[in-house]
Amino acid sequence: MRYIGNKEKMLDEIENIICSNNLQEQCVSFCDAFSGTATVGECFKDRFQIIANDNLYLSYVISMAKLNMPDGNYEELGFNPFEYFNQNHMRKGFIYENYSPGGKEKRMYFTEENAERIDFIRWQIEQWKQNQNINDNEYYYLIASLIESVSKVANVAGVYGAYLKKWDPRALKPMKFIPIQTTKTNLQPNNIVYNQKIEELIDQIEGDILYLDPPYTKNQYSVQYHLLETIAKYDEPEITGITGTRDTKQQTSAFSKIGEVEIEFEKIIAKARFHYIIVSYSSAGIMTKDYIEYVLKRYGIEATYQFKKFTYRKYLNHHTEKDGEHYEYLFFIEKKPVSQQIFYSPLNYMGGKAEMIDFIREHVPEKIQCMVDAFAGGFNVGINIEAPRIIYNDYNYKVKELIEMFQQEDTLELYKYITSNIKKYHLEKGQKDPYINLRKIYNHPEPPRRNPKLLYLLVLYGFQQQIRFNKLLEYNNPIGQSGFNDKILEKLISFSRKIKEKNIIFHSEDFEELERYVDEDTFFYCDPPYLITLGSYNDGKRGFNGWNQEEERRLLNFLNRIHEKGGKFMLSNVLEHNGKENVILKEWIEENYFNKIEYHGSIKSHRKEIIIINY
């Protein structure tokens, strides 16, 4: 049957990915998460156990038929159903009354004769199933064969969203009941087939290879194939409109909606318990190539990432007609262990420890019950530490509100807010006037507090995405050369999902107030402003207190008290930088015999970072 997005012409490319990475030798199972007409699953069923899934029941039926074929004997029935169904049996039923000229709406999907054939065959299959004349595999195979037969005489242009106003010559031919085409023999006697949304199923399945071929246009498959869905389900639903469409709200796919598709794709890749991931997509799709790559590299081993692009003009929409070229994309990556996945703040926060996360996690004590991120800032460290409870604290309550926003705001609504206001205020990278206008709107007194979502929008387009204020706490960062892009979107979505999964308590207090959390099961991480590498965000001229020698000593005394009470801490800092030495810190380390560990990674500022631990 004709089916949008069918990957028959891409099978060789998918096979090349599998063979070039020796997956056929290492893997046992292959999951086709958007199985459609089971073209891909059927191709590989002689090499892997297939796990197939699709949101449409129509696709579930076809996958069951192709992946779990009956033996063809029909022993309980006692005769060949294909010969029987080609003997012109008729019945005026739901299809005749609603999708042929014989019905009251005169819809021209099928001729009256073919509609009666369809009604009889579908009724008879159901009767045989209820009377146990056929088993499950035979049942699905016969329904799938009916769907295949129907597609040969349907008076449609390709999909079933509408019928043609004049009869296509092929629609006038008598329908022949033909078996659905299958080719290869199953490696496993029973492949597994699901009929769910993959974003709801992904937590329940696992295996070796996950193949994703999501919808890439705004067209909903449930609408485009509503009539075949009705034939497959045999449920005589309420239908509406000129085309007689069934209610498809429950089958609406997030993968056909801007904003939702990016969120659900990230979730699937994050939650997938598979060793390898292959993704098919299109240059005409809603998601960009870059966004897909950022997500895959977030959860996959970057060295294994592969990408192929090739011309493929099977399905065109208004984008491809305009651009004149249409490309199919194929992505591959090996999934990395959960323990190696790192999340980065959507804030480009100065002093963030994004490059040191692995190093820090390596030295975090085991089996902590609570982690206190005392100078949390953009929260790059806290988001990547596993603990039953996490305390977020930053003295700059504006930053705290931004991080709290990512946890509390619905990610889709936040995405819509950002994109709609970019359009509303005409924000563009480096465009000063729209930015200054928005900054004035944010700084206008707005009780009880200024909107953190609006602040985040300003930060995205501000100079180096800094978060800085004057003494009146008016945001005063000038325009920059940045903006909202796919990389930031991926960080926003992955960070927001991860922070929503954690048990986090938010504070905006002086660090000494956190002493109430000290006990032997609590771990304190302190990343204070560095005394000898002072940045603009902590110079005391941005609306909040700065950092000086007095603050440094106060923090070190605080850490001593944590140690005395049996608590654990880690301090990030630097001892030397550009000819300067932090004498206060150096003497404190020597006096207390705490462990000093140097970080030898690649830090953009070329500072020699250290961590000090007391355990």
Plot region of 462 (φ>0 → left; ψ -120 to 50 → alpha; else → beta): beta
Domain ranges in the chain are 1-69+191-211+254-314+325-337, 72-181+216-252, 354-613
Read off φ and ψ for residue 402, nearest 5 degrees. Answer: -65, -45
Q: Using 50, 70 and 90 to split pLDDT, how confident is the model at 544?
A: low
Q: So what's the pLDDT on residue 539?
A: 54
Rounded-to-integer distance, Cα 232 and Cα 122, Å:
8
* DSSP 8-class letter at 347: S
Rounded-to-integer distance, Cα 112 and Cα 114, Å:
6
| Triad 338, 35, 39: Cα angle to 5° | 125
Instruction: Give tens-digit pLDDT for 159-216.
Output: 999 999 999 999 999 999 999 988 788 888 889 999 999 999 999 999 999 999 999 8
Residue in 404, 394, 402 with CA at minimum distance from that of residue 538: 394
Compute CA distances 360 → 125, 266, 345, 456, whole Å. 63, 25, 16, 28
Q: Can you state the percent helix, strand and coil of the chain, rounding each to 5?
A: 40, 15, 45
Work out the mean pLDDT of the chain and round it to a whole number: 92
> Is-contact 130 243, C-beta < 8 A?
no
Q: Using 50, 70 and 90 to split pLDDT, how confident is the model at 613?
A: very high
1-69+191-211+254-314+325-337 matches 354-613 in fold = yes
Rounded-to-integer distance, Cα 593 and Cα 613, Å:
10
Which pair of tokens denotes residue 185?
């023999």
| Beta-strand pair 49-53/245-246 | unpaired
Residue in 53, 63, 8, 36 with CA at minimum distance from that of residue 180: 63
Question: Which of 3.40.50.2300, 3.30.1330.20, 3.30.450.20, 3.40.50.150 is the CATH number of 1-69+191-211+254-314+325-337?
Answer: 3.40.50.150
Angle between helices 486-501 and 260-271 (to 10 degrees): 60
Residues 6+ apart with CB under 8 A from 18: 24, 44, 209, 278
> Is-contact 401 473, C-beta < 8 A?
no
Which pair of tokens denotes residue 422?
């970019």
341: number of Cβ within 10 Å: 16
Q: So what's the pLDDT on residue 321?
A: 45
Give the global pTM.
Answer: 0.92
Residues 6+ apart with CB under 8 A from 510: 395
Mean pLDDT of 445-453: 77
| Beta-strand pair 192-194/245-246 | unpaired
Compute CA distances 253 → 22, 34, 152, 229, whole Å. 33, 11, 27, 15
Instruction: Give tens-digit pLDDT for 336-353.
Output: 999 999 999 999 877 778
Instruction: Give tens-digit pLDDT for 107-154.
Output: 999 999 999 999 999 999 999 999 999 999 999 999 999 999 999 999
User: CA neighbours within 13 Å on the CB side: how many for 545?
Assistant: 12
Q: So what's the pLDDT on residue 4?
A: 67
The residue type of 551 is E
Instruction: Give tens-digit pLDDT for 216-225.
Output: 888 788 899 9
Which superfamily does 354-613 belong to?
Vaccinia Virus protein VP39 (3.40.50.150)
Compute CA distances 294 → 66, 297, 438, 486, 491, whole Å. 35, 5, 29, 8, 9
Q: Using 50, 70 and 90 to split pLDDT, how confident is the model at 320?
A: very low
Instruction: Give tens-digit pLDDT for 182-191.
Output: 878 888 888 9
Q: So what's the pLDDT on residue 375?
A: 96
Residue in 224, 186, 160, 169 with CA at minimum distance from that of residue 66: 186
| Beta-strand pair 576-577/568-574 | unpaired
Lowest mean pLDDT among 318-327, 329-338, 381-390, 450-459: 318-327
Indicate whether 322 pLDDT > 70.
Answer: no
Instruction: Give tens-digit pLDDT for 411-427.
Output: 999 999 999 999 999 99
